[in-house]
Amino acid sequence: MRSLPSTLIALGLLALLAVPFFPQLVYSVFVMKTLCFVLFACAFNLLLGHTGILSFGHAAFFGTGAYVTGLLIKTYGIPTELGILAGGLVAAMLGTLVGALAIRRSGIYLAMITLALSQLVYFFFLQAPFTGAEDGLQRIPRGTFLGLIDLGNNTALYYVVVGIVGTGLWLIWRTVNSPFGHVLRAIREHEPRAISLGYPVARYKVLVFTLSAGLSGIAGSLKAIIFQLAALHDVHWHTSGDVILMTLLGGMSTVFGPAVGAALVSSLNHYLDPFGAWVTVITGLVFMTCVLTFRQGVVGQLSQALRSRRSSTPAAKVDSRPRTHHQ
């Protein structure tokens, strides 16, 4: 069945692949950066939207990915693809640790714990001798991909980034629609019942934390390669806040809503950059509006509108969390 959303997705994919051919229209580095945040936000949403866990420290994983990849490639001359993989792996291990600690509490306490732990990571990267402190790791060589493709070329890098982000998103989609994903939703909806059904809830939570952190790390690694820079801003709580905003704005109850949110927020950051600190103010105002008036996000709101138009009884569905991925 060809539905409107799948047509839109196909069109979007085509547009994405065509980006390097229209440099006068869009700047491909900007699109690459946006793609990193798309992966980051969708990975983050595995926790927030699908398991009902708010992590306020996801920048720790994003930044760890960036720093590990940067360090390995720059200092130890490791091939780029292995560097990215290592960035993801170390971030995933950190995710296991943070997850195991954070899930000892729940709800807002968990949010506060993850924020505090990410601040710990922030100070680590600020003080560690190999991270260049305030300057960050600069001039990280891009190298080649699998020894074949020269990543110094923006177009080549662009398709590699599209490929990796695409694989990451596919993995997220598979996870959400797998039996594992169903258990995660059961935990979100009614944790005590999931426990009484015999699911090892704590282990599931740590596992999803690990997965989410690993993919966030890969997003950070890619960012480090694209800009050849891993900096403190990547581990700063501002970045943790940004990814929450992206997810909320796009719609946390959908699989790819956060992708739309990431595109919106990173455009906002990109085009408002000349206005300096005003960006923070505007981001804050958008955030506020989002929390107060449309908590389902852009995609959540849209898909609800679509569904109520399609169904004969308009108010049939009074569900606050539309699940588009069930179709």
Summarize as ranges the residues that interact with other proteins (CB under 8 A): 54, 56, 101, 104-109, 111-113, 115-117, 119-120, 123-124, 127, 237, 241, 244, 248, 276-285, 287-288, 291-292, 295
C-alpha R_g of the chain: 19
Least distance (Å) between residue 134 CB and other proteins: 13
Q: Which is nearer to other proteins, 131 or 221 (CB)?
A: 131
Q: Which is nearer to other proteins, 34 or 55 (CB)?
A: 55
Stretch (H or E) spanning 149: strand 149-150
Least distance (Å) between residue 113 CB and other proteins: 6
Find the helix packing angle between 257-272 and 297-310, rounded to 10°. 130
Q: Which is nearer to other proteins, 53 or 222 (CB)?
A: 53
- In whole angstroms, give the CA distance from residue 190 to residue 185: 8
Least distance (Å) between residue 298 CB and other proteins: 16
- Listed residue (229, 31, 214, 58) closest to 131, CA to CA: 229
- In whole angstroms, give the CA distance from residue 150 to residue 157: 8
- Listed residue (154, 165, 152) closest to 13, CA to CA: 165
DSSP 3-state assignment of 131?
A: coil
Displacement of CA 18 from its chain's centroid (Å): 23
Least distance (Å) between residue 193 CB and other proteins: 16
Stretch (H or E) spanning 145: strand 144-145
Least distance (Å) between residue 130 CB and other proteins: 15
Q: Which is nearer to other proteins, 192 or 198 (CB)?
A: 192
Q: Which is nearer to other proteins, 105 or 174 (CB)?
A: 105
